């Protein structure tokens, strides 16, 4: 994207942006996705302002996005809820945010009205919240009640890796290296060059962004890591992933997601909303979730990240390794652990990761 500040006043800002997508090498599929969302927003704002009949000019429909305020953006996002899944709403919002970011950078617009909206939509987590304290034996008892292969694999993966729910949803088979697992003969696992020298591990990319194509699929969830991370797979996680892959439905997506639906969304990539629902149902049944309970009381996918951080940090005393596994460290620190992955990351992880099964 250009970072210039030239003053532009295109008659059709959406058309201008779509044309630039072509110049940047975006696929026709990506352009169609952007156009569908942006034209819908354009019509929404024009109708909201009573300018739907125009075409170009200061009061026309084609200029609606240039005149939109953050309240217009909030109203549009709100209008999508109920008709669309939350993951789709997030995708639409990300398209708008990227559109306004670009048009601001090239000087066509003065500001990005989606900035505030995205800040409100982003998961806001207290950096040091008071949370329910659960010890390892209690978590074992909780897991003992989770028997569905998909649900068990999802929850154990979250607990053993500390990854975010969106990062879990974005995992593909190519991101999973388990060369000694029976699943390796049934699937093409771990097809990333990075994993060739790091068997029994998961690759969590830093490149997944909402609305952008990755491995042949438009993603509806983002990875918030500063850079890619490789997380060891211990024998317990390998066991539940192998059990899941033994019954995993054929994937709809050519990206071959690791986790796909087994009910109404048969074969489709799991989305964060579904994962949150899975965890909520088990936590509620276990007495660990109450409507209105909040972060201090309820066990959610994000709580599993807290559990991972707390217990592994206490066991290792090594904040650096834990921050690397969480994907929270700066690039120079990541490089240090990447170059010494076997000695520092795997050795520390395998020596101290808690047993859950």
Task: Determine the angle formed by the axes of helices 272-285 and 301-316, rounding to 10 degrees.
Answer: 80
What does the pLDDT read at residue 336?
64
| pLDDT at residue 296 greater than cutoff 80 | yes
pLDDT at 328: 75
Contact 91, 210 (CB under 8 A): yes
DSSP class of residue 183 equals G
Q: What is the mean pLDDT of residues 212-218?
A: 93
Across the chain, what does the average pLDDT equal?
A: 86
17 neighbors 34 (Cβ within 8 angstroms): yes
Residue range 309-347, pLDDT digits in tens: 999 988 887 777 888 888 876 565 566 666 667 667 888
| pLDDT-derived band at 44, boundaries 50, 70, 90 | very high
| CATH 1.10.150 domain range(s) in the chain | 13-121
Interatomic CA distance for residues 298 and 295, integer angstroms: 6
Q: Is the pLDDT of residue 75 over 80?
A: yes
State which H helix or E strand residue 41 sits in: helix 28-49
What is the C-alpha to C-alpha distance for residues 97 and 31, in angstroms, rounded to an integer? 15
- Residue with tokens 């024998």, as numbered in its chain: 235
Q: Which of 146, 144, 153 is nearest to 260 (CA)?
A: 153
State residue 19's pLDDT score. 93
- Token digits for 82? 């109920």
Q: Which of 73-77, 130-134, 317-321 has the lowest mean pLDDT?
A: 317-321
CA distance 321 to 347: 10
Q: Which pLDDT tens digit goes with each residue over 98-129? A: 899 889 989 899 888 998 787 666 543 344 45
Q: Which CATH architecture has domain 13-121?
A: Orthogonal Bundle (1.10)
Query: If you average pLDDT over residues 135-147, what whole number do you get?
Result: 96
* CATH code 1.10.443.10 region(s) in the chain: 136-352
Query: Does pTM top 0.85 for this prediction?
Result: no
The pLDDT value given to residue 2: 38
Running DSSP on this structure, what letter comes out for residue 5? Answer: -
- Those residues with Cβ within 8 angstroms of residue 40's Cβ, 6 or more apart along the chain or in another chain: none
* CB 271 within 8 Å of CB 280: no
- Using 50, 70 and 90 to split pLDDT, how confident is the model at 88? confident
Average pLDDT over residues 135-152: 97
Domain spanning 136-352: CATH superfamily: Intergrase catalytic core (1.10.443.10)
What is the distance between the alpha carbons of residues 11 and 265, in angstroms, rounded to a whole number?
42
Per-residue burial over 43-77, b if 16 or more Cβ lie within 10 Å, else e, is ebbbebeebeeeeeeeebbbbbbbebeeebbbebb
Structure-block tokens of residue 319: 């904040």
The pLDDT of residue 352 is above 90: yes
pLDDT at residue 5 greater than cutoff 60: no
Q: Which of 85-94, 160-169, 213-222, 233-242 has the lowest mean pLDDT?
A: 85-94
Q: How is residue 111 annotated by DSSP? A: -
CA 355 to chain CA centroid, nearest Å: 27
Please give the structure tokens belonging to residue 149: 């292969």
Strand partners, 201: 177, 232
Q: How far is CA 200 from the centre of its chain?
A: 23
Task: Map tokens 């490149």 to a residue.
Answer: 207
- Please state the rounded mean pLDDT for residues 52-77: 75
Q: Tell me the pLDDT tens digit for each residue of 194-211.
A: 999 999 999 999 889 888
């Amino acid at each position: 994207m250009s970072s210039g500040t030239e003053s532009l006043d295109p008659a059709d800002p959406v058309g201008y942006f779509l044309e630039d997508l072509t110049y940047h090498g975006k696929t026709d599929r990506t352009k169609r996705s952007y156009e569908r969302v942006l034209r819908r927003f354009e019509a929404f704002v024009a109708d909201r302002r009573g300018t739907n009949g125009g075409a170009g000019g200061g009061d026309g429909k084609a200029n609606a996005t240039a005149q939109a305020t953050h309240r217009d953006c909030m109203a549009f996002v709100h209008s999508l809820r109920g008709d669309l899944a939350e993951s789709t709403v997030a995708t639409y919002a990300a398209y708008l945010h990227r559109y306004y970011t670009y048009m601001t950078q090239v000087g066509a617009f003065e500001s990005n009205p989606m900035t505030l909206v995205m800040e409100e939509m982003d998961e806001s987590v207290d950096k040091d919240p008071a949370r329910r304290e659960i010890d390892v034996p209690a978590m074992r008892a909780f897991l003992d009640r989770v028997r569905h292969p998909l649900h068990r694999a999802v929850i154990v993966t979250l607990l053993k890796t500390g990854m975010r729910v969106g990062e879990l949803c974005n995992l593909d088979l190519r991101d999973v290296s388990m060369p000694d697992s029976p699943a390796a003969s049934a699937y093409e696992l771990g097809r990333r060059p990075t994993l060739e020298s790091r068997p029994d591990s998961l690759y969590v990319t830093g490149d997944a962004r909402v609305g952008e194509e990755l491995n042949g699929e438009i993603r509806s969830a983002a990875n918030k890591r500063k850079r890619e991370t490789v997380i060891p797979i211990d024998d317990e996680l390998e066991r539940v992933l192998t059990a899941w892959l033994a019954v995993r439905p054929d994937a709809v997506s050519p990206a071959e997601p690791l986790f796909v639906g087994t009910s109404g969304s048969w074969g489709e990539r799991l989305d964060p909303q579904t994962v949150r629902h899975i965890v909520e149902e088990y936590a509620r049944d276990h007495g660990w979730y109450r409507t209105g309970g909040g972060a201090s009381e309820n066990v959610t996918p994000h709580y599993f990240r807290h559990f991972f951080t707390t217990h592994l940090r206490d066991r290792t005393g090594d904040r650096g390794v834990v921050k690397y596994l969480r994907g929270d460290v700066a690039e120079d620190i990541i490089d240090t652990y990447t170059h010494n992955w076997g000695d520092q990351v795997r050795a520390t992880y395998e020596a101290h990761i808690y047993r859950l099964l």
